[in-house]
């Protein structure tokens, strides 16, 4: 469509303004993370991090509480990713390669479960974990996370599994490979991008999750990174806060997420909206 030059310029300006507005909080986090507290405490804000330093990051990284939370988050997240991939892969194989009785109900159940709010379940999950002695244990949290991400992971993976033609595998079997070997040699490599995308999805969910962690990780030593971040907010309610440190801490938590997110974004949103976009 042709538009006049002025209207195109206007639209561009508008778009840049919106872009600026939306990215601003992210920028503000980075900016503040590099500024010393003295500068942040002044009455006029500083918009550029000139003269800043990485001191805030240094303080945060050497804080034993951060190291502990990082360790918990890493253990919980990695356990979730591995467990979710194994379980979801088998499930995706079942629903994309086989027509079995109960398949439709299984898929409906998955989709419905994926919508269940953690907030409608966490009290019961808390009681269950406490009676199993799994409160404040990374294993317990990882099991809850795995269950939470598996339904959508199956849904995401099933597209990838279906995308690998079964004929290819069968051709390899005709050429003399066993079913297992045909699968490992032919299908599995083709699935790698799907597994990466689903793995990153599970990573993002487990790394960012706050609600369930808040309920089942009650002790200070068991805090995940989001809970540790929240500790700063709680402290800010009662006393002056060193926002530079809080922003450095937030940046450290957000950085891996932003990187991974940009990798898989396309896959995730197409899974959510499904065929509605393709029309």
Partner 1 sequence: MSTTPAVGAPPAGRRGAGTPHKDRPTRPVGRRLPLLLILPTLVLLVVALGYPIGWQLVTSFREFGLLQQFGAPPAWVGLDNYRSLVTDPELWQVVVRSLVFCVVTAVLTVLVGGALAILMNALDRLPRLILQVSLLLAWAMPVVASMTVWIWIVDWRRGLLNWLLTRVGVEAAQGHNWLSQPLSFLAVACVIVVWMSVPFVALSIYAGLTQVSAEVIEAATIDGASFLQRLRHIILPLIAPVLSIVILLQLIWDLRVFTQIKVLQDAGSVANETNLLGTYVYQLGTGKGDFGSASAVSVFMLVLTVALSWYYVRSLMKEDS
Which range binds partner 1 by CB under 8 A, 27-35, 55-63, 64-72, 190-198? 27-35
| Residue count, binding to partner 1 (CB under 8 A) | 116
Cα distance between residue 202 and residue 216, in whole Å? 19
Which one of the spans 52-60, 61-69, 123-131, 184-192 is the region binding partner 1 (CB under 8 A)? 123-131
If one asks whether residue 53 binds partner 1 (CB under 8 A), the answer comes out as: no
Interface pick for partner 1 out of 61, 75, 190, 230 (rule CB under 8 A): 230
Question: In the complex, what is the shortest distance from the CB of residue 215 to partner 1, in angstroms, rounded to a whole number?
Answer: 7
Coil, strand or helix at 64: helix
Which of 65, 70, 118, 190 is close enough to bind partner 1 by CB under 8 A? 118
Q: How far apart are CA 9 and CA 4, in angstroms?
A: 9
Give CA–CA dist 127/235, Å, rounded. 28
Those residues whose C-beta lies under 8 Å from the C-beta of residue 35, and which sit 6 or more positions away, are 46, 49, 52, 56, 244
Main-chain phi, psi angles of 145, to 5 degrees: -65, -45
Determine the interface stretch with partner 1 among 48-56, 57-65, 87-95, 192-200 (rule: CB under 8 A): 87-95
Residue 199 in the binding site for partner 1 (CB under 8 A): no
SS3 50: coil
Q: What is the per-residue DSSP string for 243-272?
A: HHHHHHHHHHHHHHHHHHHHHHHHHHHHHH
Per rule CB under 8 A, is residue 4 in the interface with partner 1? Answer: no
| Cβ pair 217, 190 in contact under 8 A | no
Residue 261 within binding range of partner 1, rule CB under 8 A: yes
Q: Using the rule CB under 8 A, is 233 a contact of partner 1?
A: yes
Q: Is 164 in the site for partner 1 (CB under 8 A)?
A: no
- Residue 151 contacts partner 1 per CB under 8 A: yes
Closest CB to partner 1 among residues 198, 251: 251
**Position among 34, 35, 40, 223 found at the interface with partner 1 (CB under 8 A):** 40
Decide: 154 and 92 in contact? Cβ < 8 Å: yes
């Amino acid at each position: 469509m042709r538009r006049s030059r002025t209207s195109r310029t206007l639209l561009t300006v508008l778009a840049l303004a919106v872009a600026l507005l939306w990215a601003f909080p992210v920028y503000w986090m980075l900016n503040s993370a590099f500024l010393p507290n003295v500068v942040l405490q002044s009455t006029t804000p500083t918009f550029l991090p000139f003269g800043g330093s990485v001191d805030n990051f240094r303080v945060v990284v050497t804080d034993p509480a951060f190291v502990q939370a990082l360790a918990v988050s890493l253990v919980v997240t990695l356990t979730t990713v591995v467990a979710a991939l194994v379980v979801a892969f088998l499930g995706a194989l079942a629903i994309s390669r086989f027509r079995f009785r109960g398949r439709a109900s299984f898929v409906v159940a998955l989709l419905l479960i994926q919508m269940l709010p953690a907030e409608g379940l966490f009290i019961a999950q808390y009681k269950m974990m406490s009676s199993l002695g799994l409160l404040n244990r990374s294993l317990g949290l990882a099991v809850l996370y795995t269950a939470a991400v598996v339904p959508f992971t199956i849904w995401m993976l099933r597209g990838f599994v279906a995308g690998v033609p079964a004929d290819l595998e069968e051709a390899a079997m005709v050429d003399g490979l066993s079913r297992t070997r045909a699968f490992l040699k032919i299908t599995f490599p083709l699935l790698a991008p799907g597994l990466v995308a689903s793995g990153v999805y599970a990573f993002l969910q487990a790394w960012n999750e706050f609600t369930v962690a808040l309920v089942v990780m009650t002790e200070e030593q068991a805090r995940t990174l989001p809970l540790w971040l929240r500790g700063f907010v709680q402290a800010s309610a009662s006393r002056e806060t060193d926002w530079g440190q809080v922003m450095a801490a937030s940046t450290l938590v957000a950085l891996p997420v932003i990187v991974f997110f940009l990798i898989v974004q396309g896959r995730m949103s197409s899974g959510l909206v499904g065929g509605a976009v393709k029309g």
